[in-house]
Structure 1
Amino acid sequence: MKVLKFGGSSVANAQNISLIKNIIAPINRDKTIIVVSALGGITDLLLQTAQLASIQDKSYTSIFLEIENRHLQTIKELIPIHQQSKVLSKVKSELNILETLLEGAFLIGEITPKLSDKIVSYGELLSSYIISEYFISEGIDTAHTDSRQLIKTNNHYGKAIVNYNITNDNIAKHIQECPHQIIVLGGFIASSIKGDSTTLGRGGSDYTAAIVANAIDAEVLEIWTDVSGLYTANPKIVKQAKAIPHISYEEAMELSHFGAKVLYPPTIQPVLSKGINIVIKNTFAPDAAGTLITKNQNRSGKTVRGISHVEQIALLSLEGSGMVGIPGISKRFFEVLSQAGISVVMITQASSEHSICIGISDQDTDLAVEIINDAFSHEISLGKIKPVIAEKELAIIALVGDNMKSHQGLSGKMFSTLGKNNVNIRAIAQGASERNISAVIKKDDVKKALNSLHEEFFEENVKQLNLFVMGVGNVGSKLMNQIQLQKKYLKEKLRLNIRVIGIANSRKMVFNEDGISLKNWEEALSNGQSTDKDLFFQTIKNLNYRNSIFVDNTASAEVSKTYNTYLRNSISIVTCNKIACSSDFNNYQELKDLARQYNAPFLFETNVGAGLPIIDTLKNLMASGDKILKIQAVLSGSLNFVFNNFNDKTTFHDVVKEAQEQGYTEPDPTIDLSGIDVMRKILILARESGNELNIDDIVNTPFLPKESLDTNNNEDFFASLVKHEESFQKMYAEASKADCKLKYVAQFENGKASVGLQHIPKGHDFYNLEGSDNIVLFFTERYPNQPMIIKGAGAGADVTASGIFADIIRIGNF
């Protein structure tokens, strides 16, 4: 015989109930017992109605009408008109009794646990009757049985304890004597020896099904719900979670204890001793395999089988020198909680006996604090024990697996993964069986923690990066295109899954928690909300995604001032914006320190040389123990483009204008032509070489006339270039006469830096530098005479975007 249990989502409405009929209709064998929950949401409505009635709030009547209408409408949709009369009459009669009970609660202005159980039992009483009558109307050989006649308990209302001796006899005898093939029972409900209605507590319908399965030695217990089995993590939080095909009783109990809501922990107890298999199935996808739960050990070789969590947890800590070496402290601590009916879900204790820390439900916190402080009031008054400390808004996450005990390093892997994502662990517990490793974290970090751990243990090392991109002009739009084109390659070859979650420009910003489609991101952005950089950050912080990366493609000083806030929240930064790294040295150093402290990479390779690996090479030289003696470089792609194209047949104005139009200069060309941009770059290289330097320490020999440098807008600037064309032609003629080329050179040596226009003779490494290319010469202790040379395209949206992309990939490989 089989026992099938259908939960609230499976019986939420007439349409769903018809799916159940399709599942059981093909059954043509021994008797099958169907256990059903109340119609979806009805139990909560019954509790709400009872509560309102008990405080004499007349609005309870409108909720009662909703309950009545739900049941009557379900009957009308399920059962043919000519068969409805009997069913409607029976249900209305029961609803009249329910209404009388609620009126009683309203009149006396209170509700007892006994009355509450009586009221709430109507959910399953009505649903099981309606469903059995529906099956009968469909020609299925069905009988309805009131579970209260079979399952007997004590009178602990709200969570009654089953008397198995009486219950097993009742069920076995009834099933044997019942002539019908299908027997429908209401879950959750039972009765005391005296016949009063009782309930079996949270998850009681699962429990009912297991009780019945145990009593009749069922072949299998099938639990039908709205997901296709137990998952490696909550699929509503972890999109990549997968159904577990086969799992042991013990693993299932651990997962269900820590929040896997498709299974209620006590469910397994009645079937465990008899080795009755449990199958978790999906009512809405009945052909899916689901999860098989058996007594067999995990033989798949998997270490971690699932990651679960439970929210609404509080930590209570009792500590003090008066606890050390004193027998009975723990006994008193747990005894007072037990007497108050407060369940302890996790325990840790220091080996010094100086403190005890426990996890309990958030809702029990205030009572627990009061009774513990009262129990230890004498020791607290003497200063031997401190008043209990309570922390709320926490959650427990747990790794579960039978094979975990035989694998070293799992705890380290778990804690390292959480640490990399700045998930702070408040407490840790591991059972002697080593089947479970639990950690207490902030409730707000649950989503990030679960996804990070799932990625680490289940996703074949595919790492998800969540990008928040500010600035989608020339460089930003190229970056978007590159990410879209390489997305498949990155996932297959580098095991990186990149999602763009947020985008902003100077006018609009848009977010999509599932990732913005890179095929139509421009349309999504145009329909976004007004840009607010503070709200942009706050949204990233609130989303709290693992591996979050803020990508700054702007040249904004205001945006660069927000970097420290991002880093303090463990949000990595990739930027081509040079302002932060060339700002005051203390600010630069603070950003580097914050990146280390909060394990949030701060990468800015494109600050120098666009996509060229200049900073990365410099870091590697320094890390390997080399020392920088001198740096010589042409670091402005825009200036190199200008002086490579300027001659006596062109005008300086036209060449600069062309450079601006092709995106080689900043929107304000004076940033490039004044030497400020190059000063920032050599400053960054000097700092990355280990030197403390500020931009005011750099000698800048300008080549532009003072009038050009003093302009306030591009129109005036370009007009000044036309006015001073003669002086520019003179510069070119002097270099040409000396058989040299004009190059804007940056140099750092002996702690001093300078930038300026130079005559470069034939044979020099800079002489044949073409187009907008950059070149850097690193003279080091290992390369004292023949420098290490890095040369290539140093400007342009494509190469800058590729450099940003490379930094993103570097973070993915950390």
Structure 2
Amino acid sequence: MQVLKFGGSSVATAENIGRVLDLAEAAGRRQPAVVVVSALGGVTDALIGAGRRAAAADATYRDLLQELEQRHLAVVRELLPITGQSAVLSVVKTHCNELESLCDGIFALGELSDRTLDKLVSYGELLSSKMVAAGLAARGAAHQWLDSRQLIRTDARYGHAAVDFAATHDRIQAAVPAAGVPLYVAPGFIASAPDGSTTTLGRGGSDYTAAIFAGALSASQLEIWTDVSGMMTADPRLVRAARPIPRISYQEAMELSHFGAKVLYPPTVQPVMRQGIPLWIKNTFAPEDEGTLVEVAPPANHAFVRGLSSIGPVALLRLEGSGMVGIPGFSRRLFAALAREQVNVILITQSSSEHSICVAVSAPEAARAQQAADAEFAPEILAGRLDPLDREDDLAIVALVGEQMKNHPGISGRMFGALGQNGVNIRAIAQGSSEKNISTVIRQQDVRKAINVLHESFFEATARQVNVVVTGVGNVGRKLLEQLSRQQPWLLEKLRLNLRVVGLATSKQFVLDEEGIDLSNWQAALEAGQALNLTTFTEQLLALNLRNTVFVDVTASADVAQVYAGLLAKSVAVVACNKVAASSEYQSYAHLKSLAQEFNTHFLFETNVGAGLPIIGTLGDLLRSGDEVQRMQAVLSGTLNFVFNNYDGTRPFAEVVRQAQDEGYTEPDPRLDLTGVDVARKILILAREAGHPLEMSEVVNESFLPASCLEGDVPAFYEQLAVHEPHFRGLFDAAAAEGKKLRFVASFADGQARVGLQALPPSHDLYSLQGKDNAVLFYTNRYVEQPLVIKGAGAGAEVTASGVFADVLRAVQS
């Protein structure tokens, strides 16, 4: 004997019922089968709605009943040949008339009792099961319809009746073999009390009915047919990469079901679990899919985490106070008070100090639970021994489930670490000694992010999704987008990173798209975006609440730098090509670094110094390994190095500077480079990264530009450069006369930073720099006489973009 159960979606239409009939007949040819069916999809909710309308004196309940009648009649007419319709249409009409009479009574009384509601909703399964039986009859399949109300005996707790298994087993065993037919059809969800009145089995009642039949008949297997291909590693509505779980234990299935996996309900498992009856979860609409086999002991595999589940919204109730310490009975009183109000406790945690008890309950029951607890502990609260019950709403529970987790250390740490790196704050934790389940209470709005983060962390075949937002699409920004687009396939294949750009912004426009922006046509997406308001932009970005988010600033804007703190505080990593933040007041710089550490994210700005050269990263490695920087010398301006490598007196100085600007080596205003302000910022940043709390005002800047060059606008600047050509020629000639080269050098020693033009001899490490090269010399406790030298191209959109790209990868891989 086998038992098959078909859910509401499986019998929602005549076409779907046809699939059910095919599967039922195929099963009956293998061995006798009991087919348990739910009401047509949506019918139970509609019946409850009709009853409530009637109780509220809302006469539109009749319209709702009429719609239900027409729906069932239409299914019969489509499902059955004309010759077989009459009797079934009559049955449908009879039941619908009974429904109308019942609702008329509710309307007249203005009351809907639990007993009457059970009677009302039972018609959904009665109608669907009789239509399925009629479909089998029309096909000539031998079968018998069974009235579950006559077979399943319960107590009189209407709405969630408890089954009398001894009486029920006797009735089922007597009724089913007696008929001797290959197929039996029974309505799910419904049963009867000792006085014969109709009861229902509560949430997941049709699954429960099927399990009761399977247990009573010692069935070879139970099949639950639904609209998904088995239990999934996570809710596919939340996680696109979720996949079916081929085999799972009863205990794991119950844990996942308890915490929201709606394919199966915990009571369903119990009648078959006791007898070790295999349970298959299959897809009516894809019967060829393997589905999920729930069994006593599935074979061991590498998947020590079987799945993820979530339930919400929930509320957290916290009872605490010094009066609880060492005093027995508080837990018992709390749970008894909740039980009297029929409040189900979903999660429990208690501090070892006995100072606090925390429970999670479903959101609709939270107010009732709080009132019950406050009433129970009113004397202690009044005396000050306990605090008034604290309630926190808009929460959810995310659970990690797997029987093999107990054999693998570090699962909890990995779970909490993954959530923490993405700014998901954990409000409460529960982990049983069996270690089959680790449950965390988080904000409801973080559920999607949390589930995806954990799925990426524990199911290694899934690529990790990285969401990048780029602010600034000038020369460097455009090159960055080109590099990201070109490298996406490689990152996916080699690093398992699904990197996508979800946001773009300029000084005028922005666009955000959580599905990702097509980088082959990003200009069109940006043009169709919204007018830029930085506050709106960041608010919308944070509202998306995407995991593994990296905010990239490729501007020189002080306004954009102002949003870093708010992003870091939400665990959004910040990669800054913009030097404003790292070179601003030391307190601000330190605050951003502190936020990144506090919220377990990254504030990275490698390209602030030396474009794509690994200068800041190398400095950090030295310090982390215990070295100490004694002094630094550096050429940190690719622009100035280009200018002095190309100025030999044969061409005017102004012409060389203009060439540098035309080739993209300078800022839009070249004076930022030539005055040494940009270099001063860079040595300041290096000094700070080396552990020295310097301010910009403390950096000595020995400018080589005449004062008049700094007046007016950029055209005036070039005019003044031409006027002062003798000055620049003099600097060059004086250096050349001594066999030296001009270099704009930044230095740090003895806590003092300075920048200025120097004439360096051929023996100096900075003498031979070519083109737009940068170089940094680190003199440390380990590199005393011969410095550690980092040298290479220090300007240009391509190399700067590559440095930003490297920071993005560093932010999501470390």
| CA-CA distance at 1:308 after TM superposition | 2.0
The aligned counterpart of 1:656 is 657
The aligned counterpart of 1:504 is 505
Note closer, same or farther for the CA distance 1:57–1:649 as it changes in structure 2 (3 Å cut).
farther
- Give % identity: 52
Note closer, same or farther for the CA distance 1:212–1:693 as it changes in structure 2 (3 Å cut).
same
1:809 aligns with 2:809: yes
AA of the residue aligned to 2:177: Q
Q: Secondary structure at the match of 1:10?
A: helix
CA contact (8 A) 1:298 1:403 kept: no
RMSD after superposition: 2.4
The aligned counterpart of 1:616 is 617
TM-score, length-scaled by structure 1? 0.94
Q: Matches of 1:350 and 1:691 in 2, distance apart?
A: 43
Alignment of 1:486-525 (within 5 A): 486-525=487-526
AA of the residue aligned to 1:173: A
Q: Matches of 1:535 and 1:19 in 2, distance apart?
A: 51
1:470 aligns with 2:471: yes
AA of the residue aligned to 2:328: P
CA contact (8 A) 1:301 1:403 kept: no
Structure 1 runs, 4 residues or longer, greater than 6 Å off? none
AA of the residue aligned to 1:3: V
Q: Matches of 1:11 and 1:708 in 2, distance apart?
A: 83
The aligned counterpart of 1:146 is 147
The aligned counterpart of 2:372 is 371
1:257 aligns with 2:286: no
CA contact (8 A) 1:698 1:755 kept: yes
Q: Matches of 2:548 and 2:181 in 1, distance apart?
A: 58
Note closer, same or farther for the CA distance 1:79–1:692 as it changes in structure 2 (3 Å cut).
same
1:403 aligns with 2:404: yes
Q: Matches of 1:660 and 1:101 in 2, distance apart?
A: 86
The aligned counterpart of 1:483 is 484
The aligned counterpart of 1:583 is 584
Deviation track 1:414-463 (CA, whole Å, cap 9, x = no partner) reads 33333333332222222232322222222222223222222222216954
| CA-CA distance at 1:357 after TM superposition | 1.9
Q: Matches of 2:186 and 2:667 in 1, distance apart?
A: 75
1:108 aligns with 2:109: yes
Q: Matches of 1:63 and 1:652 in 2, distance apart?
A: 87
Higher mean displacement: 543-552 or 570-579: 543-552
Higher mean displacement: 39-48 or 24-33: 24-33
Alignment of 1:527-566 (within 5 A): 527-566=528-567
Structure 1 spans left out of the alignment, 5+ residues: none
Note closer, same or farther for the CA distance 1:474–1:92 as it changes in structure 2 (3 Å cut).
farther
| CA-CA distance at 1:265 after TM superposition | 0.2
The aligned counterpart of 2:740 is 740
Alignment of 1:719-758 (within 5 A): 719-722=719-722, 724-725=724-725, 727-758=727-758
Deviation track 1:310-348 (CA, whole Å, cap 9, x = no partner) reads 212222222233323333332222222212211122222
| CA-CA distance at 1:577 after TM superposition | 0.6
AA of the residue aligned to 2:505: A
AA of the residue aligned to 2:268: T
1:99 aligns with 2:71: no
| CA-CA distance at 1:408 after TM superposition | 2.9
AA of the residue aligned to 1:474: N
1:333 aligns with 2:334: yes
Higher mean displacement: 264-273 or 666-675: 666-675
The aligned counterpart of 2:290 is 289
CA contact (8 A) 2:337 2:376 kept: yes
| CA-CA distance at 1:277 after TM superposition | 0.5
CA contact (8 A) 1:563 1:573 kept: yes
CA contact (8 A) 1:297 1:402 kept: no
Aligned residues: 813
The aligned counterpart of 1:433 is 434
| CA-CA distance at 1:278 after TM superposition | 0.2
| CA-CA distance at 1:726 after TM superposition | 5.3
| CA-CA distance at 1:528 after TM superposition | 2.9
Q: Matches of 2:718 and 2:322 in 1, distance apart?
A: 77
Note closer, same or farther for the CA distance 1:117–1:757 as it changes in structure 2 (3 Å cut).
same
AA of the residue aligned to 2:297: N
Note closer, same or farther for the CA distance 1:665–1:82 as it changes in structure 2 (3 Å cut).
farther
Note closer, same or farther for the CA distance 1:632–1:7 as it changes in structure 2 (3 Å cut).
same
Q: Matches of 1:100 and 1:4 in 2, distance apart?
A: 33
Alignment of 1:122-161 (within 5 A): 122-161=123-162
AA of the residue aligned to 2:316: L
Note closer, same or farther for the CA distance 1:670–1:123 as it changes in structure 2 (3 Å cut).
farther
Q: Matches of 1:525 and 1:102 in 2, distance apart?
A: 57
Deviation track 1:245-296 (CA, whole Å, cap 9, x = no partner) reads 1111111111111111111000011111221100111222221111111112
Q: Matches of 1:172 and 1:616 in 2, distance apart?
A: 75
AA of the residue aligned to 1:645: N
The aligned counterpart of 2:169 is 168
Higher mean displacement: 431-440 or 247-256: 431-440
Q: Matches of 2:716 and 2:116 in 1, distance apart?
A: 86
The aligned counterpart of 1:20 is 20
Alignment of 1:43-442 (within 5 A): 43-178=44-179, 180-296=181-297, 298-300=299-301, 302-442=303-443
| CA-CA distance at 1:630 after TM superposition | 1.9
| CA-CA distance at 1:61 after TM superposition | 3.8
Higher mean displacement: 591-600 or 725-734: 725-734
Note closer, same or farther for the CA distance 1:25–1:516 as it changes in structure 2 (3 Å cut).
farther
The aligned counterpart of 1:686 is 687
AA of the residue aligned to 1:176: P
AA of the residue aligned to 1:14: A
Q: Matches of 1:600 and 1:414 in 2, distance apart?
A: 16
AA of the residue aligned to 2:783: Y
The aligned counterpart of 2:640 is 639
Q: Matches of 1:718 and 1:381 in 2, distance apart?
A: 80
Higher mean displacement: 389-398 or 515-524: 515-524
Deviation track 1:527-553 (CA, whole Å, cap 9, x = no partner) reads 333333223322332232332211111
Q: Matches of 1:320 and 1:384 in 2, distance apart?
A: 6
CA contact (8 A) 1:43 1:123 kept: yes
CA contact (8 A) 1:549 1:571 kept: yes
The aligned counterpart of 2:775 is 775
Deviation track 1:454-508 (CA, whole Å, cap 9, x = no partner) reads 2222216954432222223322222223233333433443343323232223333
Q: Matches of 1:58 and 1:651 in 2, distance apart?
A: 93
Q: Secondary structure at the match of 2:9?
A: coil
AA of the residue aligned to 2:684: L
Q: Matches of 2:530 and 2:144 in 1, distance apart?
A: 59
The aligned counterpart of 1:793 is 793
Q: Secondary structure at the match of 1:9?
A: helix
CA contact (8 A) 1:746 1:756 kept: yes
Q: Matches of 2:52 and 2:777 in 1, distance apart?
A: 79
Deviation track 1:557-605 (CA, whole Å, cap 9, x = no partner) reads 1010111111111111111110000001110011111111111111100
1:571 aligns with 2:572: yes
CA contact (8 A) 2:322 2:386 kept: yes
Deviation track 1:44-85 (CA, whole Å, cap 9, x = no partner) reads 222222222221233434433443343333334433445444
Q: Secondary structure at the match of 2:30?
A: coil
Note closer, same or farther for the CA distance 1:593–1:42 as it changes in structure 2 (3 Å cut).
same
Deviation track 1:702-732 (CA, whole Å, cap 9, x = no partner) reads 33343442334x4444455455555544544
| CA-CA distance at 1:211 after TM superposition | 0.9
